[in-house]
Amino acid sequence: MNNSLLIHTAVPSLLATMDALTLEPDFQIFFKKAAAAVRALLGADGTALILLDDDNQTFEYKLFEGEQQHLLNGFKGLRFSATTGISGRVLTSKTSIFTRDYPNAPDAMEQLIDAGLQSNLVIPLISSDKVLGVLASSWFAHTNSVADISPQLLTLAERIASQIAVACHREKLEAQLRALATIDPLTKLLNRRGILQCVDDSLEKLHRYNRPFALFFIDVDGLKSANDHWGHETGDVLLRDVAQRLSDVVRKGDQLGRLGGDEFLIIAECDASHIDILANRFLQALRIPYGTGRKRGRLSGSIGVVLAPQDGVDEINLLRKADAAMYVAKSQGGDRFQRASVKSELPQETQISIVDVEGALERNELQLWYQPICQLNDLSLVGFEALLRWCKPDGEIISAGPLIQTFESARGDLEFRLGNWVLREAARQMQLWSKNSLAPDIHINISPRHFLHPSFLAELQTLCEQQQGFGAALIIEITETAMLEDLERAKRIMLRCRDLGARMAVDDFGTGYASLTYIKRLPLDMIKIDRSFVAELPVNKVDWDITQGIVSIAHALGLAVVAEGAEAFEQIGSLRELGCDQVQGYFIHRPMPFDDANAWLQHKSLRATTDQYNAKKVSKTTKAIANQEKGNALSRLTTAFSVPQEFVDPRFSVAQRSKNRSA
């Protein structure tokens, strides 16, 4: 084509074609036609579209149009650094580069030389001053080599390239718009429409593959008062925080979306046995303290849970039931979950008021029950965790959960008084143990507010002074929330506790929001891995990996690791394999009243002594005690291990350890 023909005939008709092409709604068809026009214009064998990814770091080979499809189709999806190749140079210079002798170019790519690329012209695709990628026209070895590209041809090819760039830009914006239709702009989670589409998908999978799933309908408690108090901007920050925390705890494959306002929905493939663990995980993630000083508050969540197919197999029905269950949870004070088909978790009579707790404290109806904590290697006893119980005169026993919930939400000093009662009671009971030369460690849970209370240290100091050995036996368990509420203050208090001889443990680790970075900055001795990570061991690969990660980092920081909630023998095996140090859980023993714990402790140490003399024989007394514990896990333990020293190693007996300690 001579120049005058080109400029007077070809150019206008080509431009007209290009303008018409911009109306083509299908980007692929548009590209094919536009690339064919460039190819014909240049006499090239093909033209490729190579685009930059969103962060401009990588090129991706998207489309190829031309005669050598068979050669270059294989490159579709090829990704390479935005700083390499001729494309990299074009990106930096924002100008077209023609390379006549491609194989000998310094930045030629091996794959393209192997494919027979002889020459190429790479044009930047620029729209709104931004380089989106490049358009690369190629000549292959078999064709007559191309001498050069005239400036007119180049201008024309660049003009078509700029049309392609505009179309690429439009395509990108449209994709973003499509995403926006299902994305919540505030939290970047799926919006109502997006998450409801996922409910439909889950129902489809239920029908086709029989895969049950649960819906967790979450309403954030306390957001309204945060909004009223702090304004909507803070409310938005909190909502984003809620979204982030929930995203952190949902399992891979589960779906999370915001239904609107302060309502979220999680879809999780699971059966009834997993609901408690998941719901507790979400509740824990939602316990968010915010603000400082007097303007402080807390968020939590009320969760309604439905299970498909048990509770329904259509979207409307399931959501209605989940919503209603959520209201039940909310009406009970929030910070709890409610299964739709199950009656309220706490029967009416166990709804506890502050007056109840005050009364129980006054009437001496509160008790500390003790749950053993053992070394994992031999299952010898190391200590007990003191757990609060309300033993009503009619024999009913109320566990710690509802009590804690009530006193933690109470105004005034009930939480502090009750916390101090726990400390004093544990110290008193420990004295009875030390009289018998037994000194198990005592783990005491201290609520966040109590821990940060100005008089906590004074009370602790008095107890440690009054009672020798209490400080050394004491392990203070606090949750991640307590530490994060005021990190520097928490650190100071921890150091003072250490001065008194006490050790510090983070309770329920992994469910809160403390990262290991925080852990590193605090004077801690121990991490207690939450039981939700233990429950599905060894089958749950994610929990396995998380636990493994926590253990290795904790050990690197010199912290001991206790695993909570081991209920089955396989879990003990897994935890050993994962390198945990200590274990607690129903497999060893449920929490028990002081007298039972005392008998159990005596029996454990008696057993250790007996075994020193006769490894294979179990004494009559020990057998008798073991028989008394019908149904409890220790009897399973005795049968599980026929060789006693495997789990009762005298080196680790409490009596021996207390001697070591006093030595």
Picking from 111, 104, 102, the residue whose alpha carbon sits closest to that of residue 139 is 102
Site for ligand C2E in 511-530 (CB under 6 A): none
How far, in Å, are 311, 324, 442, 473 from residue 302 at the CA level? 19, 11, 33, 38
Residues 407, 356 contacting (CB under 8 angstroms): no
Residues 308, 318 contacting (CB under 8 angstroms): yes
According to CB under 6 A, which one of 280, 447, 481, 582 is a site residue for ligand C2E? Answer: 447
The stretch near ligand C2E (CB under 6 A) out of 145-153, 541-549, 579-587, 655-663 is 579-587
Nearer to ligand C2E, 399 or 635 (CB): 399
Site for ligand C2E in 49-68 (CB under 6 A): none
649 near Mg ion, judged by CB under 5 A: no
138 near ligand C2E, judged by CB under 6 A: no
Query: Please, is 347 exposed, middle or buried when counting C-beta atoms within 10 Å of its C-beta (0-12, 13-18, 19+)?
Result: exposed
What is the closest distance, in whole angstroms, from the C-beta atom of residue 593 to ligand C2E in the complex? 12
According to CB under 6 A, which one of 71, 97, 250, 387 is a site residue for ligand C2E? Answer: 387
Applying CB under 5 A, the site for Mg ion has a residue count of 5
Residues 304, 340 contacting (CB under 8 angstroms): yes
477 near Mg ion, judged by CB under 5 A: yes
The stretch near Mg ion (CB under 5 A) out of 107-115, 423-431, 507-515, 642-650 is 507-515
Question: Could you tell which of Mg ion, ligand C2E, none binds residue 585, using a CB distance below 5 to 8 A set by kind?
Answer: ligand C2E
Taking the C-alpha atoms of 153, 49, 133 and 166 in order, what is their torsion angle to the nearest 10 degrees?
70
Residues 308, 214 contacting (CB under 8 angstroms): yes
Nearer to ligand C2E, 136 or 634 (CB): 634
> What is d(CA 304, CA 318) in angstroms, rounded to the nearest whole number?
11
Tokens of 39: 């190819």
According to CB under 6 A, which one of 507, 543, 581, 629 is a site residue for ligand C2E? Answer: 507
According to CB under 6 A, which one of 222, 372, 585, 644 is a site residue for ligand C2E? Answer: 585
219 near ligand C2E, judged by CB under 6 A: no
> What is d(CA 220, CA 243) in angstroms, rounded to the nearest whole number?
11
How many CB atoms within 10 Å of residue 471?
20
According to CB under 5 A, which one of 508, 543, 581, 649 is a site residue for Mg ion? Answer: 508
Residue 400, helix vs strand vs coil:
helix
158 near Mg ion, judged by CB under 5 A: no
What is the closest distance, in whole angstroms, from the C-beta atom of residue 478 to Mg ion in the complex? 9
> What is d(CA 555, CA 550) in angstroms, rounded to the nearest whole number?
8
> What is d(CA 418, CA 430) in angstroms, rounded to the nearest whole number?
18
> What is d(CA 118, CA 110) in angstroms, rounded to the nearest whole number?
12
According to CB under 6 A, which one of 244, 399, 409, 656 is a site residue for ligand C2E? Answer: 399
Tokens of 497: 């506790």
Residues 525, 553 contacting (CB under 8 angstroms): no
254 near ligand C2E, judged by CB under 6 A: no
367 near ligand C2E, judged by CB under 6 A: no
The stretch near ligand C2E (CB under 6 A) out of 226-234, 336-344, 427-435, 582-590 is 582-590
Interface contacts to ligand C2E, rule CB under 6 A: 371, 387-388, 399-401, 404, 422, 445-447, 477, 507-508, 531, 564-567, 584-586, 591
Interface contacts to Mg ion, rule CB under 5 A: 445, 477, 507-508, 564
